[in-house]
Amino acid sequence: MSADLLARFRDRLRLPLIAAPMFLVSGVELAVAACRNGVIGSFPTVNCRETEQLDAWLGDIERRLQAHADANGKAAAPICPNLIVHRSNARLQQDLAVLLRHKVELVITSVGSPAPVLAPLHDAGALVFADVASIRHAERAVAAGADGLVLLTAGAGGQTGWLNPFVFVRAVRGFFDGPIVLAGGISDGHALRAAQALGCDLAYMGTKFIATRESMADARYKQMLVDSSADDILLTTAFTGLQTNMLRPSIEAAGLDPDDLPARGAIDIGKDIDIGARESRPKRWRDIWSGGHSTSGVTGVLGVDDLVAQTVAEYEAASARVQLA
């Protein structure tokens, strides 16, 4: 396996970057804006209420990106749906069928082994990247036949890993020479360039894309990211049962004490506090919001055009500095 797998769309990228797939945040507008700016656009398929909506989303994205290509004489960056492969995803096979029908170029699998979807996606010509949070999981994904790995490192927003990115990337490079994507702490073009120097081919940027005008996030969520810093990120298992980085101010706004949360996996946190009717109980993701350590880099709510232009300038400055060293 080789990083040359990316050659098929490298000339369509303005940056070696993926706008991370984020639950209830990444939608058509954000994905299209990222792709037409030369950044791989992504979204979890479960952001669509049903499989029929997923089909409509992909059709809309394809039409808009084709119009962009026709107008500019160059194909946009690829769209990259994110499939939850855990058994709890009852729509997995139906959503997979839609991705195959649309002939997507790249798919990211999450929350489990990519093995069940690898053969049909490979047969359709798609690359499959598996996100992993430990060295053991990375080894298993490689053994299953994943084309690339997304390394969830300490500092990534939402459900995350705990390993230091320097250690994680170098350990995986010891047994895998295919594409590696670094997830966690990519707040600007300088960090993106550093990820490449470390041995990564691509990186996720998530938190800063939440605070864009094109994201589906609540306006209060976006402003909270602007007002917060890395010190406001809390790593907890209370809301999902897995290690998850959440915004402390959102926990407080929901009437909970960030320093006195349920021990693990409180699916309906309304059961643990008395805050009235069931429909008013705060819910993870809807009312209690995630963020990564790169929250410190969010200084305003931008359009994707401006965010990418800013990141390009930072990346080029960092690259120039490396060349002078």
pTM: 0.92
Answer whether residue 11 shows pLDDT above 60: yes
What pLDDT score was predicted for residue 293?
Answer: 96
- Which tokens sit at 95? 């959503």
What pLDDT score was predicted for residue 40?
Answer: 98
What pLDDT score was predicted for residue 282?
Answer: 63
Query: Predicted confidence band at 38 (pLDDT cuts at 50, 70, 90)?
Result: very high
Answer whether residue 33 shows pLDDT above 50: yes
pLDDT in tens, 284-300: 667 899 999 999 999 99
Region 100-104: what's the mean pLDDT? 98
Query: Predicted confidence band at 269 (pLDDT cuts at 50, 70, 90)?
Result: very low
SS3 65: helix
Query: Predicted confidence band at 278 (pLDDT cuts at 50, 70, 90)?
Result: very low
pLDDT in tens, 80-99: 999 999 988 999 999 999 99
Region 209-233: what's the mean pLDDT? 97
Q: How far is CA 231 from the centre of its chain?
A: 21
What does the mean pLDDT of the chain come to? 92
Rounded to whole angstroms, the Cα distance separating 293 from 213 reads 21
Query: Predicted confidence band at 2 (pLDDT cuts at 50, 70, 90)?
Result: low
What pLDDT score was predicted for residue 281?
Answer: 59
pLDDT in tens, 297-322: 999 999 999 999 999 999 999 999 87
8 A C-beta contact, residue 143 and residue 171? no
Query: Predicted confidence band at 276 (pLDDT cuts at 50, 70, 90)?
Result: very low
8 A C-beta contact, residue 62 and residue 70? no
Region 232-238: what's the mean pLDDT? 93
Number of residues written out for the chain: 325
Give percent above pLDDT 70 in the chain.
Answer: 92
- Which tokens sit at 272? 């643990």
What pLDDT score was predicted for residue 272?
Answer: 37
Rounded to whole angstroms, the Cα distance separating 98 from 96 reads 5
Query: Predicted confidence band at 221 (pLDDT cuts at 50, 70, 90)?
Result: very high
Domain extents in the chain: 3-216
Amino acid identity at 324? L
Closest CA to 10 of 93, 105, 99, 97: 105
Query: Could you tell me which CATH number the domain at 3-216 has?
Result: 3.20.20.70
Q: Which residue has the higher pLDDT, 23 or 265?
A: 23
